Structure 1
Amino acid sequence: MERFAPLLLIVLAAGLAFVLCLVLRPLMMRYALARPNARSSHRTPTPQGGGIAVLAGAFLALNLALVLIPMEANAKQGLVLAMAAAALLALVGAWDDIRPLSPGLRLPLQVFCVGIVVFYAAPEIRLLPDALPLWAERGLALIAGVWFVNLVNFIDGIDWITLAGLVPLTGAVALAGGYGVVDPATSLLAAALLGGLLGFAPFNKPVARIFLGDVGSLPLGLLGAYLLYRLAGTGALTAALILPLYHVMDSTITLFRRLARSEKIWQAHRSHFYQQATDNGFKVIEIVAQVALLNLCLIGLAAVTIALPGFWVQLTCLTAALALTGALLRRFSRKRARR
């Protein structure tokens, strides 16, 4: 039973999320329509809030696993706290979807939710004990977590692109649990999220019938950061840096470019590389396919760093990951060559 638990969780969470999308879509049509704006790639009002189905499907399946599968008390507590923080952040996202929050209110709420994960859901993790005091490492983890929450939200601008990033990530972490790289609780969380995303995928395929909304992208960013944090805590820091590299580089480079141009970074825009790609002649399905293919390559490089922990292997794989990601960003930023 325990051996096949991740696979069963994937199937159960996918089924629940799919059914919930069907049930909730009429309500989303009525109360949560996303209308096109300066940032949008869609042209017609589309219901948002699919993240509710993803999280509910994943959490229902995961709570069943918590009841049926023996688990250490600390591991169970960490999962419960991570789910609670994600649920709270989902409420923040739902509020923002219906009535946009000011950055001055939204950011402190995000910091609070990420803080629950960093300080209480995974208090035992130390990444750089010989280089930084505990308070400094926790502070950096908090900043990185808040940034990851936001960058997942920033990237969620065209159909399937969040799935192209998070499906490989959650799948890789779930698989890592099967090889004993991460603890079983982390593997089960990854499997549940993977299932929830797969159940949502048919409704978000281009042209999407439902969007995730902030109610989905924000907590999924938090849980994705939590998975990466736990992976890094096993000693696989390079792998944790490699896996989300497309999302991190696209958002971070775009942020610094906008700051250099003195733009108001909290306002809607179309400066991300994947958005440039849509303007440069790439179809949405081509963009997400290339991002997904890159992420599969990044999984391979991350796996090598785990299997071969030598310094030069780590450096070589990280350099290769940066080069591959940079090449795709460059491709997206240029006009597509006519055939």
Structure 2
Amino acid sequence: MTGSGAIVAFGAVPLAALICAALIVAIMPLLARYALARPNARSSHKIPTPQGAGIAVIAATLGVAAGAITLVASVPAIPLLLFGATILIAAVGTVDDIRPIPVLPRLLLQAIAVGAVLAALPADLQILPMAPLWIERAGLLVAALWFVNLVNFMDGLDWMTVSELVPITLALVALGVVGALPTDATLIAAALGGAILGFAPFNRPVARVFLGDVGSLPVGLLLGWCLLQLAGNGHLAAAVLLPLYYLADSTLTLVRRIAKREAFWEAHRTHFYQRATDNGFPVLGVVGRVFGLNLLLAALAGVSVAFGSAAIDAAMLLAGGAAVAFVLARFGRPRHQSPAQA
């Protein structure tokens, strides 16, 4: 990325934060009136709380990203299909926040949006050249659909999305500045990270407002697309390391629920971060550990990109996996144990 591009990328962060915060203040009365999230089996909150701040997050992200891409590119190439798919998934999330949509129609609409984005990828963008392209794209469809939903599943605690998205997006910006990520993905990551920072004061425990599905689902699409661009640029290990905590917590929880023959599609409180609060960890203790873990994963991803060898990639993945396993194991045990229990 050029020097001017780096300046625009770093400038996009505070601009998106300010726009997002202003939009949240403006729409808060409407959210309080029409989009209250009432406590359910999945909730960590005890009283009805407005949701839907994702409207501001997505609006600020897309607006700032489009402007930044226009400024930087000699021939602006705004990924309009990605932006359109993001708006579609946000619209589905908006309806679901107000009046829940059945699982199958919701997944179908999400699959249409994700599939359209993947269909528009260049034919020469392949992460695993040894695999037939159609097999890789089919696998990407399933993986992307899962990633969109797991970001939503993990958005169940105040500041949880902030503790995940801020380190990842700022790491993506840093990687883009050194040329490891395409310019458009770098600018989208910068705008998304800034918008999440603008949302953070309102979601600080105890939260005054939640993202809602209107925010968490399209955030998952945008973040997944940026990570796909990183992997397609030859940095698969880094693209796995950055969201590794989210991937591990949500996937292991899903596998465990399926193994127990539970209705895994229904709301629940069995993710590791949710079990941590049930085990006596304060909310800030949980999100603080996740934030610190994500800083470590970002550093490991940076080392992977800097050295770019199979051996280094394997070592960083092992180190990241060990760190994630340690945090998950700690979340799964009571915070205070007697010597006999430890």
Query: Is residue 85 from structure 1 mapped to residue 85 from structure 2 by the alignment?
Result: yes
On the 8 A contact 2:21/2:199 being kept in 1, the answer is: yes
2:14 counterpart letter in structure 1: V
Contact 2:9–2:68 (CA under 8 A) maintained in structure 1? no
Distance, in Å, in 1 between the alignment partners of 2:266 and 2:208 is 25
Cα distance in 1, alignment partners of residues 10 and 148 from structure 2: 27
1:69 to partner: Cα distance: 2.8
Work out the CA distance in 1 between the residues paired with 2:185 and 2:59: 18
TM-aligned CA distance change 1:284 to 1:122, over 3 Å: farther
User: Given the alignment of the two structures, is residue 228 of structure 1 paired with residue 231 of structure 2, yes or no?
Assistant: no
Do 2:69 and 2:187's aligned partners in 1 also have CA atoms closer than 8 Å?
Answer: no
* In structure 1, C-alpha distance between the alignment counterparts of 2:334 and 2:74, rounded to whole Å: 52
Distance 1:253-1:204 versus aligned 2 partners, 3 A rule: same
Distance in 1 between the 2:238 and 2:67 partners? 30
Residue 33 of structure 2 corresponds to which residue in structure 1?
A: 30
Residues 217-226 or 307-316, more deviating = 307-316
Residue type of the alignment partner of 1:67: T
Q: Any idea what the Cα deviations from partners look like across 1:242-270, whole Å, max 9, x if unmatched? A: 11011000000000110011111111111
Cα deviation, residue 310, structure 1? 1.8
Shift of 1:12: 1.1
**Aligned residues with identical type, % of pairs:** 48
- SS at 1:3's partner residue? helix
Question: In the alignment, what sits opposite 2:246?
Answer: 247
Q: Are 2:31 and 1:54 aligned? A: no
Pick closer, same or farther for the CA change 1:124–1:82 going to 2, 3 Å: farther
Tell me how far apart the structure 2 counterparts of residues 304 and 250 of structure 1 sit (CA, whole Å).
Answer: 24
Residues 1:293 and 1:105: Cα distance change in structure 2 (over 3 Å):
same
SS of residue in 1 equivalent to 2:180: coil
Alignment correspondent of 2:325? 326
Matched, 1:3 2:6: yes
- The equivalent residue for 2:42 is 39
Match runs of 1:184-223 below 5 Å: 184-223=183-222
Q: Distance in 2 between matches of 1:302 and 1:70?
A: 27
Cα distance in 2 for residues equivalent to 1:93 and 1:222: 12
Q: Which residue in the other structure is 1:13 paired with?
A: 16
TM-score by length of 2: 0.95
Separation in structure 1 between the aligned mates of residue 75 and residue 80 of structure 2, nearest angstrom: 12
What is the CA deviation profile of residues 158-183 of structure 1, one whole-angstrom value per residue up to 9, with x for unaligned ones?
A: 00101111111111111111111111
Gaps of 5+ in 2: none
Inter-CA distance 249–3: structure 2 relative to 1 (3 Å threshold): closer
Q: Is the 8 A contact 1:280 1:335 kept in 2?
A: yes
- SS class of match (1:4): helix
Q: Distance in 2 between matches of 1:209 and 1:234?
A: 39
Give unpaired runs (5+ residues) of structure 1. none
Describe the shift of the 1:125–1:333 C-alpha distance in structure 2 as closer, same or farther (beyond 3 A).
same
Deviation per CA, 1:105-137, whole angstroms, max 9, x where unpaired?
0111111111122111555421011x2101001
SS at match of 1:157: coil
User: How many angstroms apart in 1 are the aligned matches of 2:133 and 2:197?
Assistant: 38
- The separation in 2 between residues aligned to 1:121 and 1:110, in whole angstroms, is 17
Residue in structure 1 matched with residue 100 of structure 2 by the alignment:
100
Runs of 4+ in 1 over 3 A off after TM superposition: 121-124
Secondary structure (helix, strand or coil) at the match of 1:281 reads coil
- Indicate how the Cα distance of structure 1 residues 211 and 123 shifts in structure 2: closer, same or farther if over 3 A, else same: farther
CA gap of 1:281–1:175, structure 2 versus 1, over 3 A, is same
Q: Counterpart of 2:143 in structure 1: which amino acid?
A: A
Distance 1:187 1:252 in 2: 27
Q: Corresponding residue for 1:110?
A: 110
Inter-partner Cα distance in structure 2 for 1:280 and 1:205: 21
Change (3 A) 1:122 1:276: farther
Give the number of equivalent residue pairs.
335
Cα distance, 1:66 vs. partner? 3.4
Match of 1:297 in 2: 296
CA distance in 2, matches of 1:320, 1:72: 41
Residue identity opposite 1:51 in structure 2: G
1:63 Cα deviation from its structure 2 partner:
2.2
Counterpart CA distance in 1 for 2:28 and 2:101 is: 24
- Post-superposition offset of 1:338: 6.2
Q: Deviation at 1:71?
A: 4.2
In 2, Cα distance between equivalents of 1:122 and 1:204? 38
Instruction: Tell me the equivalent position of 1:181.
Output: 180
Amino acid at match of 2:273: Y
- Displacement of 1:72 after TM fit? 4.4
Q: Kindly report the root-mean-square deviation, in angstroms, between the aligned alpha carbons of the 2 structures.
A: 1.3
In structure 2, relative to structure 1, the CA distance for the partners of 1:122 and 1:98 (3 Å cut) is farther
